[in-house]
Structure 1
């Protein structure tokens, strides 16, 4: 009886260590984010670059939305926002060669506007596979057309 009690305790401890390791492996706060940069236009051009993003479920991404153009731009996709869990969105600025965080937002995001010469970082985890074909910028240009009408559309594929 003493031997089987000791074996049972040992098995319980071993099982606890193994299941604890499995839980830690899924801890999103310990993942190193995969950086993906999207250019929101460039001087004289209304486009997302790249035009198509490919992401995987269960991985932490830092989606860097960089606007090097002279116009503000939206990164809008209602379908995409329904397929991800947002950890945070940070507004950043370059100062003396370093990235400085100016503001941080938490909760569901569907649209992010980035002003000329600035960036935002969307920390997210895709939780559902699918294809979001509604990525667009709906800001109006001087001629009254939306940037999306001028080619600023895209697609996000989550596998």
Structure 2
């Protein structure tokens, strides 16, 4: 009975984290203990320009990253890249004293907020990034993400 419960718990966990059993077993435990490569992205800037800085991000499949997101502007912004998020394994998202695990598709950063998204890219491809607040995408708050 305990074995069945463990199998069911593993299945539920893998579905909640948006990773198949095969791809989860392909992530070596040693990779998760290695220091993540930090990439810093600003959502907007202090002049309230509707931009991502930088607006092009490159990642390598199978490598661990810490995407450090900051919002130095006086308005909230979203980091939305659903297809990208579906092609990675998220270890965690940290914001303040909160750590979130599981499937993440977008993050909202309020003025002055910071968040860290630790993940391992799994699916090579080119993905779109945008802020989904009305008018922000149209004003140019877009970007590209590539996984090699």
TM-score by shorter chain over 0.5 = yes
Band of TM-score, shorter chain: 0.7 to 0.9
2:104 alignment counterpart:
109
Q: In the alignment, what sits opposite 1:150?
A: 139
2:118 — aligned with what? 123
User: What are the within-5 Å matches in structure 2 for residues 56-67 of structure 1?
Assistant: 56-67=60-71
Q: 2:40 aligns with which of 37, 42, 65?
A: 37
Deviation at 1:128, TM superposition (A): 1.1
Query: Tell me, what secondary structure is at the counterpart of 1:147?
Result: coil
Report the number of matched residues. Answer: 122
Residue 74 (structure 2) pairs with residue 70 (structure 1): yes
| Structure 1, gaps ≥5 residues long | 1-22, 93-101, 141-145
Residue 92 of structure 2 is matched in structure 1 by 88
Q: Note the alpha carbon deviations across 1:92-126, whole angstroms, 9 max, x for none.
A: 3xxxxxxxxx2110001001001111101000000
The offset of 1:81, in angstroms, is 0.6
Determine helix, strand or coil for the equivalent of 1:29.
helix
Partner SS for 2:133: coil
Task: After TM superposition, give the deviation of residue 26 of structure 1 in Å.
Answer: 5.8
Q: Report the secondary structure of 1:45's partner residue.
A: coil
C-alpha displacement at 1:44, in angstroms? 2.2
Moved >6 Å (runs of 4+): none
Aligned CA RMSD, in angstroms, stands at: 1.7
TM-score, normalising length from structure 1?
0.73
Q: Matched residues in 2 for 1:66 and 1:44: separation?
A: 13
- When you count strand as a share of all residues, which structure comes out higher? 1
Q: Within 2, Cα distance between the matches of 1:89 and 1:28?
A: 17
